[in-house]
């Protein structure tokens, strides 16, 4: 409902007043001319005219704006009645804030971790590859570079990329800094199929180039779009120790999207495709992670399902775990459990509120009966209860959202559960909260409504009158 | 004896208003006066019936309303018949004519004691 609509509504009401007044004044003038006194004329016109308020109501009915006036009345009435019982209102609000706040916070985590799409194209075809022995199929060991080379030459995957977490000393504008990094094979970008948000990815075979994580780019370079093409001095050393640091001058070619979420790659600030290793590969420790993209033909779970694989002859086995499972698998049951717990909290809150409502309505049964006797229709009374519930639930929803916001800040600090996803109250979360509020409200409103429908409307009034009568008789 | 709205058959008031407006645009009070004069004080429409009826007709776009000056220099809301209203008026006038003739016929027959 726009303000213009409301203004037009006001204007039309004023015009209706003017029109009716004109009629009354003309009639009074006519009657005066026929010899009646002003007072008599007015009385006669009033008699003849009938109830002006009824005309107005019929007019609003005809224009279909009556509900607007009644809604305004209902809201005012609900506000007064809630303000009159602050204890109830406070208890209800606290319950709603707890219920809706907890649900919104948990849902926003679920939204971020389970529902938001991954940054990789067709993530269901991506597999984390682990080395495993012939006997223990589920162990997860890393590869040496020479083993990665053998996997690559095996040709069982559509493409295959590898990375190794490294610690990087960055020399940029003089001051050296330590950053988390990943030494990656250039084909990792095409395997993951991520599109940089700035610049480009790596060309195949390209060396001495680097990509920055979005967070690092924002933190360290103030989101400077001119970063592409600059060179930085880096010194890489394996986080697992052992190897000597490699010095290199690398060119920044792009910025990665946020939320890559594939551990431990998501911890890396700088991805570097270094120069081809000069060391004999055998000397390297098993420190390399492998990610493979499957061809479109299917989803093998073990290496035996892979066509044309000669991995079997290598003396070790591989273990394939879908990347989606690596990212979400471990937290999914936990999150769903938390969600269920939060839903339970809301359910309990609803039950408590419904009971509070019921107590309140049993006190107000007389009030309702009197209003029904004065001509309020059943649907009007029902709507008032509904408006009261909506008002309460909206207030609870708004406060719950604020509570959820603080919960998220708290969760952001702990980080353990969610990794590096960004928690935010975005559109899906807001929609969820709105639906939750409406659902809660319906539970709240319909419960007393059902109660009212079952009980005889007149009874509370009669019993009240009799009781008052007796009291009156006893008092006199 | 004055006829009140409740004595008028359903829908008759609308027809009477449309018929009156066929003479030219006029405001609500003038419509009431005209109805009373023409019917020789038999039809007296109270404001409580007239205005809701007018607003219903306006909503159905059978009449259109616009503010204008009366002869005495006051502002009033003038109603006029729309083209749709004229068509509606003619249709319901014809059916009213048929109905009243039929009723009259039946009343005459009953009086004549044919049965």
Q: Which DSSP string do the residues of B33-101 spell out, in sequence order? A: HHHHHHTTTSB---HHHHHHHHHHHHHTTSEEEEEEE-TTS-EEEEEEE-HHHHHHHHHHHHHHHHHHH
Task: Verify whether the Cβ–Cβ distance A54 to B59 is below 8 Å.
Answer: no
- Cross-chain Cβ contact A49/B29 below 8 Å: no
Q: Is the pLDDT of residue A457 over 50?
A: no
- Per-residue model confidence (pLDDT) at position B1: 45
Q: Name the band, by pLDDT with cuts 50, 70 and 90, for residue B18.
A: very high
Write down the pLDDT at residue B79. 93
CA–CA gap between residue A366 and residue A418 (Å, rounded): 53
Least confident of A67-81, A254-268, A312-326, A347-361: A312-326
Strand ranges (E), A149-197:
159-171, 176-184
Distance CA B4, CA B44 (A): 6
pLDDT of residue A223: 83
| Residue B53 token pair | 């009826």
SS3 at position A264: coil
Lowest mean pLDDT among A464-473, B26-35, B39-48: A464-473
Least confident range of A314-323, B5-14, B100-109: B5-14
Q: Which of B59, B75, B77 sits opposite A63 (nearest CB)?
A: B59
Partner-chain contact A22 B27, CB within 8 Å: yes
The residue to which tokens 């499957």 are assigned: A294
Q: Choose the closest CB to A55 out of B32, B48, B59.
A: B48
Q: Please give the residue of chain B at the shortest CA–CA distance from A52.
A: B48
Measured between beta carbons, which residues in chain B are less than 8 angstroms from residue A15? 67, 77
Dump the DSSP string for A417-446: TTTTPPP---HHHHHHHHHHHHHHHHHHHH
Q: How much is the pLDDT for A453?
A: 54
Give the C-alpha distances (Å, rounded to integers) separating A18 from A147, A183, B28, B66: 93, 82, 12, 13
Instruction: Tell me the DSSP string of A192-236.
Output: HT---SEE--PPTT--SEEEE-HHHHHHHHTT-GGGTT-EEEEEE
Q: Which of A60-64, A100-104, A150-154, A458-462 has the lowest mean pLDDT?
A: A458-462
Q: What pLDDT was estimated at residue B5?
A: 47
Check if the beta carbon of residue A263 is closer than 8 Å to that of residue A165.
Answer: no
Nearest chain B residue to A25, by CA: B29
Mean pLDDT computed over every residue of chain A: 75
Asked if pLDDT for residue A358 goes beyond 60, the answer is yes
Give the closest residue to A158 by CA, choosing from A33, A7, A326, A300: A300
The reply to whether B27 touches chain A by the CB within 8 Å rule is yes
Q: Do A22 and B59 touch (CB under 8 A)?
A: no
CA distance A308 to B44: 101
Percent of the residues in chain A that have a pLDDT greater than 90, as a whole number: 0
Query: How many beta carbons lie within 10 A of that of residue A427, not counting itself?
Result: 9
Pairing outcome for strands B63-69 and B75-81? antiparallel
Arithmetic mean of pLDDT, A429-433: 80
B81 backbone dihedrals φ, ψ, rounded to 5°: -75, 135
Q: Is B34 an interface residue toward A (CB < 8 Å)? A: no
Of B29, B46, B55, the CB nearest to A26: B29
| Nearest CB to A22; choose among B29, B52, B59 | B29
Q: Hey, are the CB atoms on A62 and B56 less than 8 Å from each other?
A: yes
Subunit contact A55:B75, Cβ cutoff 8 A: no
Q: Of the candidates A106, A104, A241, which has an alpha carbon nearest to the alpha carbon of residue A167?
A: A241
Residue B113, pLDDT score? 54
B84: confidence class by pLDDT, cuts 50, 70, 90: very high
DSSP symbols for A295-322: -TT---SBGGGSTT--GGGGSSEEEEEE
Q: What is residue B86's predicted lDDT score, i.e. its pLDDT?
A: 92
Chain A residues inside the 8 Å CB shell of B32: 23
Cβ-nearest to A27 among B29, B74, B77: B29
pLDDT digits (tens, 9 = 90+) for A404-422: 888 777 776 665 555 556 6
Mean per-residue pLDDT for A423-431? 75
> Is the model's pLDDT at B19 over the cut of 50?
yes
pLDDT of A362 above 50: yes
The larger pLDDT score, comparing residue A258 to residue A314, is at A258
> Is B74 within 8 Å of chain A by CB?
yes
Contact A55 B52 (CB under 8 A): yes
Q: What is the mean pLDDT of residues B35-54?
A: 84
Region for A153 from its dihedrals, namely left if φ exceeds 0, alpha if ψ lies in -120 to 50, beta otherwise: alpha
Inter-chain CB proximity A15 and B29 less than 8 Å: no
Contact A19 B52 (CB under 8 A): no
Average pLDDT over residues B84-92: 91
What would the mean pLDDT of A128-157 be, rounded to a whole number?
Answer: 75
Per residue in A290-324, pLDDT tens? 888 877 765 555 555 555 455 556 667 777 777 77
- The answer to whether the Cβ–Cβ distance between B77 and A22 falls below 8 Å is yes
Mean pLDDT of the A248-268 span: 80
DSSP 8-state code for residue A331: T
pLDDT for res A475? 36
- Indicate the residue of B32, B48, B67 with minimum beta-carbon distance to A54: B48
Chain A residue numbers touching B28 (CB-CB < 8 A): 19, 22-23
* Bridging pattern class, strands A198-199 and A209-212: unpaired
Partner B, chain A 250-289, Cβ-Cβ below 8 Å: none
Q: Smallest CA–CA separation between B22 and chain A, in Å?
A: 21
- Average pLDDT on A171-184 reads 80
Q: With pLDDT > 90 as the criterion, what percentage of chain B qualifies?
A: 23
By Cβ distance, the residue of B46, B49, B52 closest to A59 is B52
The rounded distance, in Å, linking the Cα atoms of A183 and A289 is 10
B48 contacts on A by Cβ (under 8 Å): 49-52, 54-55
**Rounded average pLDDT over A54-75:** 74
Say yes or no for a CB contact (<8 Å) between B52 and A62: yes
Nearest to A50 among B27, B47, B77 (CB): B47
Chain A: residue whose CA lies nearest to B32: A23
| pLDDT score at A158 | 77
Is A22 in contact with B46 (Cβ distance < 8 A)?
A: no
Q: Does A24 touch chain B (CB under 8 A)?
A: yes
Q: Which residues of B touch A52 (CB under 8 A)?
A: 48
The residue among A130, A121, A128 whose CA lies nearest residue A296 is A121
Q: Is A350 exposed, middle or buried (0-12, 13-18, 19+ CB in 10 A)?
A: buried
* Range 54-93 of A in CB contact (< 8 A) with B: 54-55, 58-59, 62-63
Taking contacts as CB-CB distances below 8 angstroms, the residues of chain B near A48 are 46-47
Indicate the SS3 state at residue A177.
strand
Query: A123-137, A183-197, B101-115 — which one is most confidently predicted on average?
Result: A183-197
What's the N-to-C CA distance of chain A in angstroms? 55
pLDDT at residue number A319: 77
- Give the residue-averaged pLDDT of A39-61: 78
């Amino acid at each position: 409902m726009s303000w213009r609509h409301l203004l037009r509504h006001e204007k039309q009401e004023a015009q209706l007043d003017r029109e009716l007044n004109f009629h009354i004044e003309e009639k009074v003038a006519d009657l005066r001319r026929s010899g009646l006194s002003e007072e008599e004329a007015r009385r006669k016109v009033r008699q003849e005219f009938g109830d002006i308020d009824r005309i107005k109501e019929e007019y609003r009915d005809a224009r279909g704006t009556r509900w607007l006036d009644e809604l305004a009345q209902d809201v005012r009435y609900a506000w007064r009645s809630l303000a009159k019982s602050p204890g109830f209102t406070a208890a209800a609000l606290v319950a709603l804030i707890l219920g809706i706040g907890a649900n919104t916070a948990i849902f926003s985590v679920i939204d971020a971790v389970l529902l938001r799409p991954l940054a990789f194209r067709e993530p269901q075809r991506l597999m984390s590859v682990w080395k495993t022995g012939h006997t223990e199929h589920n162990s997860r060991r890393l590869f040496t570079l020479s083993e990665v080379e053998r996997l690559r030459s095996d040709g069982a995957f559509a493409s295959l990329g590898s990375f190794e977490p490294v610690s990087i000393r960055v020399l940029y504008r003089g001051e050296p800094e330590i950053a988390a990094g990943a030494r990656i094979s250039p084909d990792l970008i095409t395997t993951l199929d991520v599109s940089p948000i700035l610049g480009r990815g790596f060309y195949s075979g390209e060396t001495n180039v680097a990509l920055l994580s979005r967070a690092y780019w924002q933190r360290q370079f103030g989101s400077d779009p001119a970063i592409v093409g600059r060179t930085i001095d880096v010194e890489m050393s394996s986080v697992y120790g052992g190897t000597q640091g490699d010095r290199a001058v690398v060119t920044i070619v792009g910025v990665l999207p946020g939320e890559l979420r594939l551990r431990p790659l998501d911890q890396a600030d700088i991805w570097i495709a270094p120069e081809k290793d000069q060391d004999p590969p055998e000397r390297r420790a098993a420190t390399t992670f492998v990610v493979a993209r499957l061809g479109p033909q299917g989803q093998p779970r073990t290496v035996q399902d892979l066509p044309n694989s000669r991995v079997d002859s290598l003396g070790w086995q591989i273990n394939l775990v879908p990347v989606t499972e690596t990212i979400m698998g471990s937290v999914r049951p936990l999150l769903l459990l938390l969600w269920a717990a939060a839903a339970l909290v809301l359910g309990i809150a609803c039950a408590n509120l419904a009971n509070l409502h019921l107590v309140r309505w049993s006190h107000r049964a007389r009030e309702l009966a009197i209003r029904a006797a004065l001509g309020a229709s059943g649907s009007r009374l029902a709507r008032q209860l509904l408006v009261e519930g909506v008002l309460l639930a909206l207030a609870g929803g708004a406060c719950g959202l604020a509570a959820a916001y603080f919960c998220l800040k708290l969760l952001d600090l702990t980080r353990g559960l969610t990794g590096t996803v960004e928690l935010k109250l975005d559109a899906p979360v807001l929609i969820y909260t709105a639906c939750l509020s409406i659902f809660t409200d319906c539970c709240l409103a319909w419960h007393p409504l059902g109660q009212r429908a079952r009980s005889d409307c007149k009874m509370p009034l009669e019993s009240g009158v009799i009781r008052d009568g007796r009291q009156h008789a006893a008092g006199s | 004896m004055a006829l009140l709205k409740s004595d008028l058959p359903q829908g008759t008031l609308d027809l009477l208003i449309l018929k009156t407006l066929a003479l030219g645009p006029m405001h609500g009070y003038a419509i009431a006066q005209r109805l009373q004069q023409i019917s020789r004080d038999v039809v007296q429409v109270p404001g409580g019936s007239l205005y809701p009826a007018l607003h219903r007709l306006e909503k159905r776009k059978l009449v259109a309303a616009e503010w204008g000056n009366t002869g005495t220099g006051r502002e009033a809301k003038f109603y006029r018949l729309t083209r749709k209203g004229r068509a509606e008026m003619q249709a319901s006038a014809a059916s009213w004519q048929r109905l009243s003739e039929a009723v009259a016929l039946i009343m005459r027959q009953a009086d004549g004691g044919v049965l």
